[in-house]
């Protein structure tokens, strides 16, 4: 459970530190003193960004807990390390490229509302679909070589982790698809914020994948 | 200034003003309607759980007298009672119900920041409830694995509901977690982003603080339950071995290779312990506001109260294994978890002292909500003290799985939060419905519930010391138990049936108030918080009419010396509230 604990502790410490910073040295019972600050915003208001950040914290907790389970389960006698398909290296490269493509799109989108962001948007989506297809093929390769999900706990975790990671990417693809449809409908301005948020989400899922992949390779 | 634009969304308000009955009351995106939907659904399943507990008590009090109770469905009653009370009633009611109703009103916003997501959250919650209830009607009935659903027995033959019940239970939990996450993201974002001008974090009422921190706990802790639910579903459906050890079941080898049931316990309690505080923190917050309002005094040590909520929330993540002292853990782990468990007593005790000191020399009005709030202090101290017993490894070992544990957790997270739920419903009833309840009926309801629950749970401590094990269908010929244990069980059963029956008074009161209740004053308790300052009573969609409120002070300006009224609402500017013209506030 150490992994889960450390990750959670880090997230909680960040949050609590922020709250304490807000609350130290305030004297809430004094009406006048705080009135001077009454017109200040809590901080830059971007509800979707805040909600996404909170959601990423939830997902972090989710994966950290599965990894805790992984590390506990690994120590038991029936664990046989799985040899991961070489294809995963290609898939990892494709996911990195998808992230890069999103970053490129985002850099255009934050500057101005221009149709020039469309190629990047399309490219990111296509690369991500290639990644998902690659993961699917990796599953098929394993099954073809007789490595089923139930053959061994390490296999079970492999399919579980890649599956859940893939589902999260699919969720991102839903937002991407909506943004793309909108952008092709001519409303480029409306998708700029979506592109920004998608980029953060894609980088995050790339990071999650690198951690998962690294852990599975090393065990 | 960006946040003002978010909070002040006049154009959107006009845009989705409710038009028809369907959009106004069914597919509503108004946080108040969603709160009521959450509340009514939660109370409905809560009544099912109450009925189940009555069935359990009938068997325990009068063994083998009822042909419709057999060991199988007794275990199903236990399991579903626990699961419904903890998750589908208390979590949903405090966060989905009160969270939804109070956050936007107390923070001075028009609605949640994502109203559509909020609506979706309720309907997905309803789906999880429907799946849960469906499990009563599938072949084999609902699962009887106990609310902790420990493997391996939860998914092996011999446990009731092993074919379909457990599948529906796990699926329902997963759906519930999705619903909660949608709601929870909304509550956190609304608190952080949609507060009105002047509502700094440290001016928020403690109700909002409690709900806010509890939501964060829920967002981080529910994934642990989701992980364990998914893994157990896989163990059950395709025979992976995450949790299932190499085991022979009734002479058959089910094909599991050597998983770890203890791993499940770790994941489950990593969720399960924060869950206690997901239920308790909103209760702490709400009870602070009730005490302060009805004692006409500012809450004692507001900042300490906030920090105590935060400290309890943080600590609640590092105590989970105190539920597992008997799992054969390393004694050093036991020592660590006993220490962290006892450390939680410090911020909790700060809160209790501050509640009592808020009452000290207050101008106490013993109205119905106040009675429930004060009763909460009693039951919570009571349950908290038995927690000190169970938190110590050496005392926990003999008491583990006895009625002492049942008494402890029912006092601390059953009776206490339910008392707050009732107090909060009576307190905000005039705002929610615009009508008053019947004071006399409310007081009868309070006294019978309060004394009745003590009559149920106090004797259980004794039963636990005597060694009566929990979860047993019947005691059999147990040599070490005195005859009187059975008499006590009969008494407890009669008390439980009495308390269950007196809840009818509450529903009579609700119906009476809705039909004949006198119209309520917009601020019947002379309270300071923003929800009592709305232009309409009950507030309309959008809450604040044309202009958002501005917050000028904290939520606890009661009986400020030198003022005519004994309360100053949060939206009254400093200059308007000073009839005597003195520099107020300094005396605090």
Element housing B412 (H / E): none
Same domain, A115 and A197: yes
* Look-up of token digits 């039963």: B463
Q: Whole-number mean pLDDT of chain A?
A: 89
Q: Which of residues 187-246 of B touch A (CB under 8 A)?
A: 188-189, 192-195, 197-198, 200-203, 216, 219-221, 223-224, 226-227, 230-231, 234, 238-242, 246
- Confidence band, pLDDT 50/70/90 cuts, at residue B102: very high
| CB-CB neighbors (< 8 A) of B257 in chain A | 78, 152-153
Q: Do B192 and A66 touch (CB under 8 A)?
A: no
Q: Which of B106-120, B220-234, B241-255, B516-530 has the lowest mean pLDDT?
A: B241-255
Q: How far A28 CA sits from the closest chain B CA (Å)?
A: 6
Whether residue B269 has pLDDT greater than 90: yes
Query: Any chain B CB within 8 A of the CB of A14?
Result: no
Of A60, A77, A94, the position where a domain reaches its end is A77
Q: Which of A9-13, A104-108, A116-120, B210-214 has the lowest mean pLDDT?
A: A9-13
**Burial of A173 (C-beta count, 10 Å sphere; 0-12/13-18/19+):** middle
Same domain, A62 and A88: no
Same domain, A164 and A207: yes
| CA distance readout (Å), B443 to B322, B370, B426 | 38, 10, 11
Same domain, A70 and A94: no
Whether residue A103 has pLDDT greater than 90: yes
Q: Whole-number mean pLDDT of chain B?
A: 91
Question: How far is residue B171's CA from residue B232's CA, in Å, rounded to a whole number?
Answer: 11
Q: How far A84 CA sits from the closest chain B CA (Å)?
A: 19
| CB-CB neighbors (< 8 A) of A5 in chain B | 317-318
Whether residue B1 has pLDDT greater than 50: no
Q: Which of residues 121-180 of A touch B (CB under 8 A)?
A: 149-150, 152-153, 156, 160, 164
| CB-CB neighbors (< 8 A) of A47 in chain B | 6, 113-114, 189, 193-194
If you measure CA to CA, which chain B residue comes closest to A31? Answer: B553
Q: How far A52 CA sits from the closest chain B CA (Å)?
A: 8
| CB-CB neighbors (< 8 A) of A30 in chain B | 585-586
Q: Which of residues 186-205 of A touch B (CB under 8 A)?
A: none
* Residue in B203, B220, B258 nearest the CB of A34: B203
pLDDT tens-digit readout, B542-565: 899 888 898 989 999 999 988 888
Give residue B7's pLDDT: 43
SS3 string, B446-481, reads HHHHHHHHHHHHHHHHHHHHHCCECCCCCCCCCCCC
Same domain, A65 and A116: no
Give residue A21's pLDDT: 79
* Residue in A42, A78, A153 nearest the CB of B192: A42
Query: Any chain A CB within 8 A of the CB of B554?
Result: yes
CB atoms within 10 A of CB A93: 13
pLDDT tens-digit readout, B170-205: 999 999 999 999 999 999 999 999 999 888 888 999
Domains of chain B: 2-16+25-245+257-533 (1.20.210.10)
Q: Which of B133-142, B467-476, B523-532 has the lowest mean pLDDT?
A: B467-476
Give residue B11's pLDDT: 42
Question: How far is residue B119's CA from residue B37's CA, in Å, rounded to a whole number?
Answer: 10
| CB-CB neighbors (< 8 A) of A29 in chain B | 298, 302, 554, 556-557, 585, 588
Name residues whose C-beta falls within 8 Å of residue B258's C-beta, 6 or more positions apart in sequence.
A76, A77, A78, A153, B241, B245, B246
Whether residue B2 has pLDDT greater than 50: no
- For A60, the domain range is 1-77
- Smallest CA-to-CA distance from B434 within B518, B546, B529, B535 is with B518
Q: What mean pLDDT do residues B405-425 have?
A: 96
| CB-CB neighbors (< 8 A) of B258 in chain A | 76-78, 153
- Confidence band, pLDDT 50/70/90 cuts, at residue B579: low
- Smallest CA-to-CA distance from A92 within A206, A186, A197, A208 is with A206
Number of CB pairs, chain A paired with chain B, less than 8 A apart:
182
Q: Do A29 and B4 touch (CB under 8 A)?
A: no
Q: Do A32 and B3 touch (CB under 8 A)?
A: no
Q: How far A184 CA sits from the closest chain B CA (Å)?
A: 25
Q: Do A31 and B246 touch (CB under 8 A)?
A: no
| CB-CB neighbors (< 8 A) of A72 in chain B | 260, 263, 266
Same domain, A37 and A95: no
Of A23, A47, A77, the position where a domain reaches its end is A77
Question: How far is residue A174's CA from residue A185's CA, in Å, rounded to a whole number?
Answer: 17
* Residue in A35, A65, A73 nearest the CB of B223: A65
Whether residue A32 has pLDDT greater than 80: no
Q: Do A66 and B238 touch (CB under 8 A)?
A: no
Give residue B543's pLDDT: 92
User: Testing the interface with A: which of B193, B237, B323, B554 to mutate, by most A Cβ within 10 A?
Assistant: B193
Q: How far A14 CA sits from the closest chain B CA (Å)?
A: 11
Same domain, A149 and A200: yes
Query: Any chain B CB within 8 A of the CB of A34?
Result: yes
Give residue B251's pLDDT: 87
Query: Any chain A CB within 8 A of the CB of B573?
Result: yes
Whether residue B237 has pLDDT greater than 80: yes
- Smallest CA-to-CA distance from B198 within B565, B495, B518, B549 is with B549
- Confidence band, pLDDT 50/70/90 cuts, at residue B208: very high
Read off the CATH number of the domain in which A135 is found: 1.20.120.80
Counting every residue, how long is chain A?
Answer: 219
CB atoms within 10 A of CB B15: 8
What is the ipTM metric for this complex?
Answer: 0.93
Same domain, A186 and A202: yes
Q: How far B547 CA sits from the closest chain A CA (Å)?
A: 16
Q: What mean pLDDT do residues B101-111 have?
A: 95
Q: Which of residues 54-93 of A touch B (CB under 8 A)?
A: 54-55, 57-58, 61-62, 65-66, 68-69, 72-73, 76-78
Give residue A168's pLDDT: 97
Give residue B21's pLDDT: 76
Q: Do A32 and B556 touch (CB under 8 A)?
A: no
| CB-CB neighbors (< 8 A) of B223 in chain A | 58, 61-62, 65
Q: How many domains does chain A have?
A: 2
* Residue in B189, B200, B577 nearest the CB of A54: B189
Name residues whose C-beta falls within 8 Å of residue A40's C-beta, 6 or more positions apart in sequence.
none
Per cent of chain B over pLDDT 90 is 82
Q: Is the peptide bond prior to A193 cis by the omega test (within 30 degrees of 0)?
A: no
Same domain, A54 and A110: no
Same domain, A37 and A107: no
Same domain, A14 and A62: yes
* Look-up of token digits 């061994």: A152
| Higher pLDDT pick, A41 / B545 | B545
* Residue in A23, A41, A65 nearest the CB of B1: A41
Q: Do A32 and B314 touch (CB under 8 A)?
A: no
pLDDT tens-digit readout, A175-199: 999 999 999 888 888 888 999 999 9
- DSSP state letter for B325: G
Same domain, A72 and A119: no
- Confidence band, pLDDT 50/70/90 cuts, at residue B90: very high
Question: How far is residue B506's CA from residue B446's CA, in Å, rounded to a whole number?
Answer: 9
Of A77, A94, A118, the position where a domain reaches its end is A77
Q: Do A31 and B588 touch (CB under 8 A)?
A: no
* Residue in B4, B189, B258 nearest the CB of A77: B258
Q: Do B198 and A35 touch (CB under 8 A)?
A: yes
Give residue B372's pLDDT: 98
* Residue in B219, B240, B577 nearest the CB of A54: B219
């Amino acid at each position: 459970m150490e992994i889960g604990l450390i990750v959670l502790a880090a997230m909680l410490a960040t949050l609590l530190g922020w709250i304490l910073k807000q609350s130290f040295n305030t004297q809430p019972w004094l009406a006048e003193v705080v009135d001077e600050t009454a017109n200040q915003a809590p901080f830059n208001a971007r509800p979707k960004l805040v909600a996404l950040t909170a959601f990423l914290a939830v997902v972090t907790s989710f994966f950290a807990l599965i990894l805790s389970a992984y590390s506990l389960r690994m120590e038991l006698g029936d664990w046989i390390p799985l040899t991961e398909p070489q294809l995963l290296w290609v898939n990892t490269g494709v996911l990195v490229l998808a992230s890069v493509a999103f970053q490129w799109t985002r850099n255009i989108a934050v500057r101005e509302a221009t149709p020039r962001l469309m190629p990047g948007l399309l490219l990111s989506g296509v690369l991500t679909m290639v990644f998902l297809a690659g993961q699917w093929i990796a599953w098929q390769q394993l099954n073809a070589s007789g490595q089923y999900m139930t053959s061994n706990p390490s296999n079970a975790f492999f399919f579980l982790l890649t599956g859940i990671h893939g589902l999260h990417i699919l969720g991102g693809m839903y937002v991407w698809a909506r943004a793309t449809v909108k952008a092709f409908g001519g409303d480029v301005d409306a998708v700029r914020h979506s592109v920004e948020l998608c980029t953060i989400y894609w980088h995050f899922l790339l990071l999650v994948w690198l951690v998962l992949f690294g852990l599975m390779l090393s065990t | 200034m960006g946040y003002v634009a978010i909070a002040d969304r006049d154009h959107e308000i006009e845009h989705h003003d409710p038009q028809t009955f369907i959009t106004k009351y069914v597919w509503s995106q108004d946080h108040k309607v969603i709160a009521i939907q959450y509340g009514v659904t939660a109370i409905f399943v809560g009544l099912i759980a109450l009925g189940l507990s009555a069935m359990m008590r009938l068997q325990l009090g009068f063994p083998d007298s009822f042909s419709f109770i057999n060991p199988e469905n007794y275990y199903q009653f236990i399991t579903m009672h626990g699961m419904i009370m903890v998750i589908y009633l208390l979590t949903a009611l405090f966060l989905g119900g009160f969270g939804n109703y109070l956050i936007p009103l107390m923070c001075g916003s028009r609605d949640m920041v994502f109203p559509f997501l909020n609506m979706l959250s309720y309907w997905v919650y309803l789906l999880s409830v429907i799946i849960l209830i469906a499990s009563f009607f599938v072949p084999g009935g609902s699962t009887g694995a106990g609310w902790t659903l420990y493997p391996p027995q939860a998914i092996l033959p011999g446990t009731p509901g092993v074919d379909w019940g457990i599948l529906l239970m796990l699926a329902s939990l997963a759906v519930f977690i999705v619903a909660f996450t949608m709601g929870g993201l909304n509550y956190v974002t609304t608190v952080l982003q949609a507060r009105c001008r002047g509502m700094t974090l440290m001016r928020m009422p403690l109700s909002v603080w409690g709900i806010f921190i509890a939501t964060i706990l829920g967002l981080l802790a529910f994934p642990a339950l989701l992980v364990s639910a998914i893994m157990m579903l896989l163990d059950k459906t395709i025979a992976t071995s995450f949790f299932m050890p190499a085991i022979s079941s009734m002479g058959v080898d089910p094909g599991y290779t050597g998983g770890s049931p203890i791993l499940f316990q770790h994941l489950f309690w990593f969720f399960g312990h924060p869950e206690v505080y997901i239920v308790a923190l909103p209760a702490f917050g709400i009870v602070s506001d009730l005490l302060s309002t009805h004692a006409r005094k500012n809450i004692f040590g507001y900042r300490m109260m906030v920090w105590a909520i935060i400290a309890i929330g943080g600590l609640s993540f590092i105590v989970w294994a105190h539920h597992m002292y008997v799992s054969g853990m390393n004694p050093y782990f036991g020592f660590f978890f006993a220490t962290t468990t006892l450390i939680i007593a410090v911020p909790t005790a700060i809160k209790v002292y501050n509640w009592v000191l808020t009452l000290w020399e207050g101008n106490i009005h013993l109205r119905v909500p106040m009675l429930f709030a004060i009763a909460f202090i009693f039951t919570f101290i009571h349950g908290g003290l038995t927690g000190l017993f169970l938190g110590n490894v050496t005392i926990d070992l003999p008491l583990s799985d006895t009625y002492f544990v049942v008494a402890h957790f029912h006092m601390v997270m059953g009776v206490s939060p339910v008392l707050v739920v009732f107090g909060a419903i009576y307190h905000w009833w005039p705002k929610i419905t615009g009508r008053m309840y019947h004071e006399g009926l409310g007081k009868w309801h309070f006294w019978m519930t309060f004394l009745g629950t003590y009559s149920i749970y106090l004797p259980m401590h004794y039963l636990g010391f005597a060694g009566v094990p929990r979860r047993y269908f019947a005691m059999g010929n147990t040599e070490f138990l005195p005859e009187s244990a059975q008499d006590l069980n009969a008494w407890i059963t009669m008390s439980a049936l009495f308390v269950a029956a007196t809840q009818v008074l509450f529903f009579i009161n609700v119906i009476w108030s809705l039909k004949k209740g006198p119209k309520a004053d917009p601020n019947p308790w002379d309270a300071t918080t923003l929800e009592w300052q709305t232009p309409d009573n009950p507030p309309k969609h959008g809450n604040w009419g044309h202009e958002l409120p501005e917050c000028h002070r904290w939520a606890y300006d009661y009986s400020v010396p030198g003022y005519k009224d004994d309360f100053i609402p949060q939206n009254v500017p400093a200059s308007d509230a000073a009839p005597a013209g003195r520099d107020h506030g300094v005396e605090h």
